[in-house]
Structure 1
Amino acid sequence: MKEYEFKLMGELSEKLLNELLIESRKEGFNFVWRLLADYHSGENTFNMNGEALFGVYHQEHLIALGGVNQDPYSYKEGVGRLRRFYVKKEFRRAGIGKSLVHYIINHSKLHFTYLVLNTDTKEADRFYQAIGFQVNSHFPNTTHFLQVRNT
Structure 2
Amino acid sequence: MTKIRNLLNHDLHPLVQESKEEGFRFVERLLNDYREGTNRFNKQGEALYGIYDEEKKLVAVGGLNVDPSSSGTGRVRRFYVKKECRNEGIGTLLLKQIILDARRSFGALVLNTDTVKADHFYTSFGFTKGNRYPNATHYLDISE
TM-score bucket of the superposed structures, by smaller chain: over 0.9
What secondary structure, in the 3-state scheme, does the structure 1 residue paired with 2:11 have? helix
Q: Between Structure 1 and Structure 2, how many residues are aligned?
A: 143
**1:31 aligned onto 2:26:** yes
What secondary structure, in the 3-state scheme, does the structure 2 residue paired with 1:109 have? helix
Aligned match for 1:50, one of 31, 45, 58: 45
State the partner residue of 1:97: 91
TM-score using structure 1 length: 0.91
**1:72 aligned onto 2:68:** yes
Gaps of 5+ in 2: none
- The 2-side partners of 1:81 and 1:136 are apart by 15
After TM superposition, which residue ranges in structure 1, 4 or more long, deviate above 6 angstroms?
none
TM-score using structure 2 length: 0.95
What secondary structure, in the 3-state scheme, does the structure 2 residue paired with 1:82 have? strand
RMSD across aligned positions (CA):
1.2
Gaps of 5+ in 1: 1-5
- The 2-side partners of 1:136 and 1:98 are apart by 22
State the partner residue of 1:149: 143
